[in-house]
Amino acid sequence: MQRGSALSWVLKQGFFMAIPDSFIQELLNRVDIVDVVDASVPLKKAGANYSACCPFHNEKTPSFTVSPTKQFYHCFGCGAHGTALGFLMEYQGLGFVDAVHDLAKRVGMTVPQETRTVDRAAEEAAVGMHEALQIAMHYYRAELKKSEKAIAYLKGRGLSGEIAAKFQIGYAPPGWQNLESVLPDYQSETLNAVGLVITNEQGRRYDRFRDRIMFPIHDQKGQVIGFGGRVLGGEGDDAGPKYLNSPETPLFQKGHELYGLFLARRAIRESGRALVVEGYMDVVALAQYGIGYAVAALGTATTPYHITKLMRQTDDIVFCFDGDAAGGKAAWRAAMNSLPALTDGLRLSFLFLPPEHDPDTYIRAHGKEGFEAALKGTLPLSQYLVQTLSAANDMQSQEGRVRFLNDAEPILRQIQAPALSLLLRKRCAELAGVSQGELESLLHLGQPSAKKPAAPARSLRKPPTLARRLIHMLLLRPQLALQLPPRLVAAGSNAEDDLLRHLQRLAAASQNAKPAALLQALRESAPAQLMAELAAELIGLDDAFEIENEFEGALKQLRESQGQRDLTEVLRIAQEQGLQVLTPEQKALLQRFRRGGTQSGE
């Protein structure tokens, strides 16, 4: 494919097909979020709203609230929030387009498509990071269908076409510049930034991935943020490393992401556990056999970020690594890196397979039932730590017990979960033949203390600003945007002010939109934290509060603020240039000021 035909190839693949924003708003106006959520998470009436235990984190007291009037959900426990569209994406793991089609089918709407206009200059322009990765992913998938060698390799590993399609597995063919045929500007710095190409010392550019099975890595929204590439044969000088990952990029940080988590979230919640394995192929093979709750670290040891991310899905995490010595080292690194994130509510355990097996080969040999039977014999973290430390030292000698205590000290110091820390200290003291007090004194360990629960956010929050109050009102009554003169909201440059100006334009054009539709349209216009706070505040607002009276008061405040700004400017001009340069309107304002009034006109 020549460079000139790149854009037509992209358009044929549908990369520039978009669903109109107007349709998204109309869809969210028609759908009932209560029906959507209740189909997956049974809801109970709670006053004007509905509630349930949050499906996005583990809790015993319901803090997940769904508003039928505002048409969005918010969890006061973990902060999860969104519309019916967001719920399908987060809970069921659907991509944006699939979620739109799902909702549209429920209410009998047909999803239109619009093609974004792309001129010739766009062929040479740098594509965005996500778009470049998306184009590459579709190219690799198309190449897999053409390669008998790659297909034979995947079939030899026991993978079906369905599972390959589910994980969007592809193939990067041999050759140095294959991506040049499908990317509009192969010389774009964007391609370097996302790790698709490498530029050598002579300035020559070539594809990073060549002759490899390609595993796309997705973020929590389902967007491709990087790749893992596996050679079809063994490692060697020509083939390079067995696995080659995308480098660290603005979109992809290895220590923060988990392969397969986007697809595994629903299975994790349904099974009540997450299984952490070493490789991409382990994740895919386990899913092939019906174990869809597996994820993998991306070429790095498990980090506290990984543990925290998984804890939002479940409180039962199992590490399962290869049965060889390398797998044992990986398990210990995972345990050490998990210590800062431990809580007393988290069950973290280890499954050690026979030395000749990894998860991929074990499940192919023993099937789903055999693998899940093995999961019943996992080793809890506390037991694993004690056994490993004991095995590394001669516990029959005083010198060995001293070394045992020295090895245990940095571990005990990192564990802040009170109950777990207490029990581990007792057990270590027993094995060393000392009392718990002696152990703590000898190792200079302070007493672990439970973190005090944070005060409710609303009790710490300052009274809402005028801009935020107006945002609340426009979200609930978009018709009021027509009564809000643009000049009165033109001042201010913080995130709230910017959002208010955007919302005013949006609400004026969508006067019948529900709060959920407006929030969905605003999702890219403000920091995520601000959007989360707005969702929590709107859920808490009484549907019956007198918006019109509140709005009149806010308008009065705006006029007074604008009047003060106008007066300050008039006084500055009069002082610097004299009264003769003032306009009639400015002179009238100055006269009102002298009479004791400063309110600006509209």
If you average pLDDT over residues 384-413, what whole number do you get? Answer: 90
- Those residues whose C-beta lies under 8 Å from the C-beta of residue 449, and which sit 6 or more positions away, are 418
Note whether 97 and 158 are within 8 A (CB): no
According to the model, what pLDDT value does residue 146 have? 94
Give the CATH number, domain containing residue 399.
1.20.50.20
User: Phi, psi (5° rounding) for residue 198?
Assistant: -125, 140
Q: What are the residues facing 351 on neighbouring strands?
A: 320
If you average pLDDT over residues 285-299, what whole number do you get? Answer: 92
Query: pLDDT tens for residues 321-356?
Result: 877 788 788 888 888 888 888 888 889 999 999 888
- Those residues whose C-beta lies under 8 Å from the C-beta of residue 587, and which sit 6 or more positions away, are 579
Q: Are residues 413 and 526 in the same domain?
A: no
Q: What band does 115 get if pLDDT is binned at 50, 70 and 90?
A: low
Span between the terminal Cα atoms of the chain, in Å: 59
Instruction: Provide the residue range defining the domain that includes 27.
Output: 14-114
Q: Does residue 510 fall inside a structural domain?
A: yes
Q: Are residues 479 and 505 in the same domain?
A: yes
User: What's the rounded Cα separation, in Å, for the pair 173 and 145?
Assistant: 11
Q: Are residues 219 and 316 in the same domain?
A: no
In terms of phi and psi (left: phi > 0; alpha: psi -120 to 50; beta: otherwise), the region of 350 is: beta
Which has more confidence, 524 or 191?
191
Q: Are residues 299 and 225 in the same domain?
A: no
SS3 content of the chain, % helix, strand, coil (to 5): 50, 10, 35
Q: What are the residues facing 46 on neighbouring strands?
A: 49
How many CB atoms neighbour CB 169 within 10 A?
24
User: Running DSSP on this structure, what letter comes out for residue 489?
Assistant: G
Last residue of one domain, picked from the residues 358, 377, 396: 377
According to the model, what pLDDT value does residue 453 have? 38
Strands 197-199 vs 224-231: parallel, antiparallel or unpaired: unpaired
User: Running DSSP on this structure, what letter comes out for residue 480?
Assistant: G
Across the chain, mean pLDDT equals: 81
Q: Are residues 91 and 106 in the same domain?
A: yes
Q: What band does 203 get if pLDDT is binned at 50, 70 and 90?
A: confident
- Those residues whose C-beta lies under 8 Å from the C-beta of residue 75, and which sit 6 or more positions away, are 54, 56, 57, 63, 64, 65, 81
User: What's the rounded Cα separation, in Å, for the pair 137 and 134?
Assistant: 5
Q: Are residues 295 and 355 in the same domain?
A: yes
Give the 3-state secondary structure of residue 488: helix
Q: What band does 595 get if pLDDT is binned at 50, 70 and 90?
A: low
Mean pLDDT lowest for which of 255-259, 372-376, 577-581? 577-581
According to the model, what pLDDT value does residue 8 have? 42
Which tokens go with 246? 């995308």
Give the CATH number, domain containing residue 325.
3.40.1360.10
Q: Does residue 156 fall inside a structural domain?
A: yes
Last residue of one domain, picked from the residues 51, 84, 114: 114
If you average pLDDT over residues 207-222, what whole number do you get? Answer: 91
Query: pLDDT tens for residues 527-582?
Result: 777 887 887 787 767 655 567 777 877 777 777 777 677 677 767 777 777 677 77
Which tokens go with 481? 């945007």
Q: Are residues 125 and 241 in the same domain?
A: yes
If you average pLDDT over residues 440-444, what whole number do you get? Answer: 84
Whether the per-residue pLDDT at 168 is higher than 70: the answer is yes
Q: How far is CA 131 from the centre of its chain?
A: 18
Whether the per-residue pLDDT at 10 is higher than 50: the answer is no
- Report the domain count for the chain: 5
According to the model, what pLDDT value does residue 235 have? 54
Q: Does residue 598 fall inside a structural domain?
A: no
Last residue of one domain, picked from the residues 187, 217, 245: 245
Q: Are residues 132 and 155 in the same domain?
A: yes
How many CB atoms neighbour CB 484 within 10 A?
22
According to the model, what pLDDT value does residue 220 have? 76
Task: Give 344-365 as a DSSP string.
Answer: TT-EEEEEE--TT--HHHHHHH
According to the model, what pLDDT value does residue 119 have? 42
Q: Are residues 324 and 351 in the same domain?
A: yes
Q: What band does 599 get if pLDDT is binned at 50, 70 and 90?
A: low
Query: pLDDT tens for residues 268-289?
Result: 888 889 999 988 999 999 999 9
Q: Kindly list the distances between the CA atom of residue 602 and the CA atoms of 40, 143, 552, 596, in Å, as whole numbers in the listed order.
A: 50, 62, 14, 19
How many CB atoms neighbour CB 574 within 10 A?
16
User: What's the rounded Cα separation, in Å, for the pair 446 and 550?
Assistant: 53
Which has more confidence, 91 or 297?
297
If you average pLDDT over residues 84-111, what whole number do you get? Answer: 83
Give the 3-state secondary structure of residue 282: helix
Give the CATH number, domain containing residue 522.
1.10.860
Q: Kindly list the distances between the CA atom of residue 412 and the CA atoms of 20, 112, 342, 389, 443, in Å, as whole numbers in the listed order.
A: 55, 59, 12, 12, 9
User: What's the rounded Cα separation, in Å, for the pair 385 and 331?
Assistant: 11
- Longest distance between any two alpha carbons in the chain, whole Å: 100
User: What's the rounded Cα separation, in Å, for the pair 382 and 57?
Assistant: 24
Q: Kindly list the distances between the CA atom of residue 216 and the CA atoms of 123, 151, 252, 260, 569, in Å, as whole numbers in the listed order.
A: 25, 17, 12, 9, 57
Q: Does residue 3 fall inside a structural domain?
A: no
Q: Does residue 594 fall inside a structural domain?
A: no
Q: How far is CA 135 from the centre of its chain?
A: 21
Q: Are residues 508 and 582 in the same domain?
A: yes
Q: Are residues 36 and 129 in the same domain?
A: no
Half-sphere exposure of 540 (CA within 13 A, CB side): 11
According to the model, what pLDDT value does residue 485 have? 78
The side-by-side arrangement of strands in the sheet containing 81-82 is 44-46, 49-52, 64-67, 72-75, 81-82
According to the model, what pLDDT value does residue 459 have? 36
Whether the per-residue pLDDT at 222 is higher than 90: the answer is no
Which has more confidence, 411 or 589?
411
Q: Does residue 457 fall inside a structural domain?
A: no
Q: Does residue 450 fall inside a structural domain?
A: no
Query: pLDDT tens for residues 304-330?
Result: 888 888 887 788 999 998 777 887 888
User: Running DSSP on this structure, what letter comes out for residue 546?
Assistant: -
User: What's the rounded Cα separation, in Å, for the pair 73 and 55?
Assistant: 11
Q: Which of 197, 187, 191, 262 is nearest to 224 (CA)?
A: 262
If you average pLDDT over residues 379-390, what whole number do you get? Answer: 91
Give the CATH number, domain containing residue 206.
3.90.980.10
User: What's the rounded Cα separation, in Å, for the pair 133 and 223?
Assistant: 9
Q: Are residues 156 and 199 in the same domain?
A: yes
pTM of the model: 0.62
Whether the per-residue pLDDT at 601 is higher than 70: the answer is no
| Runs of H (alpha helix) within 199-313 | 261-271, 280-288, 304-311
Q: Does residue 282 fall inside a structural domain?
A: yes
Strands 205-207 vs 212-218: parallel, antiparallel or unpaired: unpaired
According to the model, what pLDDT value does residue 593 have? 63
Give the CATH number, domain containing residue 31.
3.90.580.10
Give the 3-state secondary structure of residue 437: helix
Q: What band does 124 get if pLDDT is binned at 50, 70 and 90?
A: very low
According to the model, what pLDDT value does residue 492 have? 62
